[in-house]
Structure 1
Amino acid sequence: MRPSSLGQYLHAETVPSHQEQQPEASARLDRQVCYLCRSLLILAGVVVSCQDITPDQWGELQLLCTQLDRHISTHIRESPQAMYWTKLKDLATQTYVRWQELLAHCQPQAQSFSAKDG
């Protein structure tokens, strides 16, 4: 879901290699990348929030939070001309906070070995 990876993929799919990318096409591609990132983030948020987190899934959600922070929150370039990126970054931050709260609430408990001693 890294924006730069999606941009490279979409660029390769839509623009033949011998053509230079014009500013309008570049702006359109930029909006498409942002829209895809937003859609994937919303979908991931819905999937995560509609199920109970098992101890096995806890580690996976923790990894997903790390990836979200690394690839979305820190690599999005914000600018007054492209407010859609700012909105995506806000959504990523809100999702990250919700997932961190879910992780804290569903944190796997350490097994108590003293209960087995008795």
Structure 2
Amino acid sequence: MSLAALAETIARRKGADPDKSWTARLLASPEMAAEKFGEEAVEAIIEAVKGDRDRLVSEAADVIYHLLVMCAVNDITLADIERELERRSAQSGLAEKAARDQKSRG
């Protein structure tokens, strides 16, 4: 499944019955969606440190799914994220990071 197809599936779950869809349940609870994303991110970090490639692939898929759900809760689309990545690609990663760091301090 492509990221675009996954994002479309998540978007279609908005308004679905939370008793019948895990995605709908997450979409109905911003706190739960954020918590699940955090849990999955930690699990991915653990697998990366352990060096278990197969488990990391699995956890990375969970992270991406939960990130897209958390973003959907906040009306952020995959297209929004892609535009931001495109904007950032116009400069070096180090320059972009320095600009974000300075912005967060000021």
Could you state the TM-score of these two structures normalised by the residue count of structure 2? Answer: 0.38
Task: Tell me which structure has the larger Cα radius of gyration.
Answer: 1
Structure with the bigger percentage of helix: 2
